[in-house]
């Protein structure tokens, strides 16, 4: 997969809407902020024209306990899932889509899930973990996929 198969600008737009800004958070610390981390990852991918983020999946901040706006997170996660190439056996943990997805799901669901390169399997897994959020995510994904 190459960077031209992924619309990083589109993902960036929905990620930016999740940012609570310094007005709500105080001093911005992107290294410890899930949304700031996602923004940094996307900027790196654009700058290097790559979809591979070396060790990116290991670098997702685990100490960000901010409460983000659920609807913004759902919209961002849906966009990331729509950009996923459904690579299944060729899934890479270091893919910018995967790294960004891990940051968003941690912000939305409080934990990370195994991702095996299949959006459908992922949505079912989230639904089993959290029925309400899973249903909202699935509905938003289906609606967005139609448009």
**Which residues 6+ apart lie within 8 Å of 48 measured at CB?**
none
Could you tell me the two tokens for 55? 């060790």
Give pairs for 93-96: CB < 8 Å, separation 24+. Answer: 93/56, 93/57, 94/52, 94/53, 94/54, 94/55, 94/56, 94/57, 95/1, 95/51, 95/52, 95/53, 96/6, 96/8, 96/41, 96/42, 96/45, 96/50, 96/51, 96/52, 96/53, 96/56
Could you tell me the two tokens for 144? 């967005």
The pTM of the full predicted model, rounded to 2 decimals, is 0.91
Tens-digit pLDDT profile for residues 76-133: 999 999 988 777 666 688 899 999 999 999 999 999 998 888 899 999 999 999 999 9
- Location of structure tokens 């990620």: 15
Q: What is the 3-state secondary structure (H, E, C) of 57-77?
A: HHHCCCCCCCCCCHHHHHHHH
Tens-digit pLDDT profile for residues 28-70: 788 889 999 999 999 999 999 988 999 998 999 999 988 899 9
């Amino acid at each position: 997969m190459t960077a031209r198969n992924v619309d990083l600008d589109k993902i960036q737009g929905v990620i930016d809407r999740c940012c609570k800004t310094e007005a709500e958070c105080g001093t911005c610390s992107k290294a410890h902020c899930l949304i700031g981390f996602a923004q940094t990852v996307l900027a790196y991918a654009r700058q290097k024209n790559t979809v591979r983020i070396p060790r990116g999946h290991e670098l997702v901040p685990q100490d960000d306990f901010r409460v983000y706006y659920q609807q913004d997170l759902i919209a961002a996660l849906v966009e990331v899932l729509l950009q996923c190439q459904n690579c299944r056996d060729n899934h890479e943990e270091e893919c910018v889509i995967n790294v960004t997805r891990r940051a968003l799901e941690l912000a939305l669901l409080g934990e990370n899930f195994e991702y095996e390169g299949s959006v459908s399997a992922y949505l079912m897994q989230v639904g089993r973990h959290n029925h309400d959020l899973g249903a909202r995510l699935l509905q938003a994904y289906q609606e967005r996929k139609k448009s």
